[in-house]
């Protein structure tokens, strides 16, 4: 199956700092999503981004499908950004969405 | 929309008992997915449905696990008999169709003692 690798595995930030999370995948994909799992366990869909760039407030994401990676940018981080960020990909329609291992982010006040 | 609704939020049961988890997808979504999350294995897809029809159940760990979707607004995941290694958080998700954005429910935290 497709391999999804996220880096770094852990990230500690001071409130107000910027950061970049990376997702590498081993095959062509037609579906890529970023999720945030908050400290209460809820999984929130941040972006559906099989290619290109999108922005939502302080968060933005870029997927370069031809080079098989995606980046999630967090700007001016806040303590509420803490949690685990997952990248998930699907190789082709009718296939399954496979999750990476996640990046655990802690934003300190 | 109320989002994807799962029940119960927490379930504690004794080994050998039957457990039924429930999910109501977002109205109009045609694809429904059941995932399991554990520390050791992360998020794993158990089974998914398109238009109420099970498409791929290769992730279902054993015959003790079964899932149904009798109509577009309801799905169940059943474990019979339950075992301590089934302890995990079980998530249900739905999407308008496969290949588009997923919305996850709040999950059911299952503890089998």
Instruction: Number of helices (H) and strands (E) in chain A: give both, helices first.
Output: 0, 11
Q: How confident is the model at residue B94 (pLDDT cuts 50, 70, 90)?
A: very high
Contact B104 A43 (CB under 8 A): yes
Residue B91 to chain A, least CA–CA distance (Å): 9
DSSP H or E stretch at residue B99 = none
pLDDT in tens, B55-67: 999 999 889 999 9
Query: Which tokens is A21 given?
Result: 């999370």
pLDDT in tens, A1-56: 899 999 999 999 999 999 999 999 999 998 999 999 999 999 999 999 999 999 99
Distance between CA atoms of B67 and A42, rounded to whole angstroms? 22
pLDDT of B36 higher than 90: yes
Q: Which residues contact A12 (CB under 8 A, 6 or more apart)?
A: A105, A106, A108
Distance between CA atoms of B15 and B32, rounded to whole angstroms? 28
Contact B42 A43 (CB under 8 A): no
Q: Kindly list the residues from chain A whose CB atom is less than 8 angstroms away from the CB atom of residue B43.
A: 86, 88, 99
């Amino acid at each position: 199956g497709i391999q999804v690798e996220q880096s770094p595995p852990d990230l500690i930030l001071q409130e107000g700092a910027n950061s970049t999370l990376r997702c590498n995948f081993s095959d062509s994909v037609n579906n890529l999503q970023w999720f945030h799992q908050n400290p209460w366990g809820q999984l929130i869909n941040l972006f559906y981004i099989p290619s290109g760039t999108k922005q939502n407030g302080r968060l933005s994401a870029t997927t370069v499908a031809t080079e098989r990676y995606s980046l999630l940018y967090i700007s001016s981080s806040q303590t509420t950004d803490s949690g685990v960020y997952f990248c998930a990909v699907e190789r082709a329609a009718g296939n399954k969405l496979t999750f990476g291992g996640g990046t655990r982010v802690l934003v300190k006040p | 929309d109320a989002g994807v609704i799962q029940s119960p939020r927490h379930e504690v049961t004794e080994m050998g008992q039957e457990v039924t988890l429930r999910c109501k997808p977002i109205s109009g979504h045609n694809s429904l997915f059941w995932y399991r999350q554990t520390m050791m294995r992360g998020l794993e897809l158990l089974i998914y449905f398109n238009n109420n029809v099970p498409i791929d159940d290769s992730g279902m760990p054993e015959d003790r696990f079964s899932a149904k979707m009798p109509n577009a607004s309801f799905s169940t995941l059943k474990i019979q008999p339950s075992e301590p290694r089934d302890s995990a958080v079980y998530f249900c998700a739905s999407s308008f169709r496969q290949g588009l954005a997923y919305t996850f429910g709040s999950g059911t935290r299952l503890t089998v003692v």
